[in-house]
Amino acid sequence: MVVGSDAVQPRSTIYSMTFPEMRMRRLRRSDSLRALVRETNVEPGDLIYPLFLCPGEGVRKEVGSMPGVFNLSIDEAVREAEEAASLGIAGLLLFGLPEAKDEQGTGAWDENGIVQQGLHALRQSAASKKLVLIADVCLCEYTSHGHCGVIIEGRDGFEVDNDPSLDLLARTAVSQAKAGADIVAPSDMMDGRVAAIRTALDKAGCAQTPILSYASKFASAFYGPFREAADSAPQFGDRKTYQMDGANLREAMREIDLDLAEGADMILMKPAMPYLDVIRAARERVDVPIGAYQVSGEYSMMQAAFAKGWLDRDRAILESLLGIRRAGADFAVTYFAKEAAKLLG
């Protein structure tokens, strides 16, 4: 079903009938009537499931702040992928917890890095025929300082240095594409990274690999639980010099325009629930496919409410995803992907 820019227009002047001749409740009387007039839907094929890969074998370690989310060794991730594929989920978004971290984040572009190994294994599994494998491109899981780029001494102490980070991100994307990623998704928010990645991919013979850029990524409190899951909390400072200020809608549009000008094939909006207006604005502005990321904090707060018995679990999950679709996103990245797909199936 189309979630289009013409979804809401002021057309009320052409209808002359009002109550009691007109009754809105007529079309809400039964399940089948409601289904007939439903404007937006969510399907398993609209969902992307994030996985956190870690070293070892048979590892399935639950993340404390994210019940139902695990650090998975590659063998376990393959099993998870097979289940996701059988549920009709569209794809996976892969993050990695490396064996060791360093200043530069060399684990990110290591040919034998955790995500690269995971991609090789997933490629060999039957699941990969049905799933789109998306690799998150960032350095924060691999750097000892936990920032998304190279650190230098700046005027006011440390700074994340933009330009030297680009080469490292581009190398990361190329190594992931070569290892079997269908799509690379840069989430670092360095300026110019989409162009740097596109150029590097093309040079490396990966001209067919699309870029899904996290074009509109806000510095958000809602990433908190993820940083436990990916062990990627910044060791000092915060991410406000590279991720966007939550107050700025117009700036988000400029980020999107620039990423598309640099060659992004699709864009990802993040977080979702506190920024549904930004998703809607993006939908009305551009015609590329748009994804939205229901981030860790959105997931965890809902889980907390479910644990308390304060929200109806099944309905709240589907309603949260419907809201993302109605705002204009074509697909949603969500930790609820498996559960939602089961509910929808």
Per CB under 6 A, residues contacting ligand PBG are 136, 138, 140, 148, 187-188, 223, 226-227, 239, 295-296
Q: How far is the CB of 255 from ligand PBG (least distance, A)?
A: 14
Give yes or no for a contact between 27 and 34, defined as CB atoms under 8 angstroms apart.
yes
Annotated active-site residue in 101, 178, 203, 217: 217
Give yes or no for a contact between 190 and 169, defined as CB atoms under 8 angstroms apart.
yes
Amino acid at 67: P
Q: How far is the CB of 163 from ligand PBG (least distance, A)?
A: 18
Active site residue 61: no
Of 49 and 226, CB closest to ligand PBG: 226
Q: How far is the CB of 322 from ligand PBG (least distance, A)?
A: 19
From residue 13, alpha-carbon distances to 4, 18, 23 in Å are 21, 11, 17
Of 14 and 247, CB closest to ligand PBG: 247
Helices (H), the chain: 31-36, 74-86, 114-124, 162-179, 193-203, 224-229, 249-261, 276-285, 296-308, 313-327, 337-344
Of 227 and 285, CB closest to ligand PBG: 227
From residue 198, alpha-carbon distances to 135, 235, 241 in Å are 15, 30, 24
Report the distance separating Cα 230 and Cα 97, nearest Å: 6
Of 286 and 292, CB closest to ligand PBG: 292
Between the two ends of the chain, the Cα-to-Cα distance in Å is 17
Active site residue 308: no
Of 85 and 244, CB closest to ligand PBG: 244
Report the distance separating Cα 302 and Cα 320, nearest Å: 10
Q: How far is the CB of 301 from ligand PBG (least distance, A)?
A: 12
Q: Which two tokens stand for residue 312?
A: 């109806």
Q: How far is the CB of 33 from ligand PBG (least distance, A)?
A: 37
Q: Which residues are catalytic?
A: 217, 270
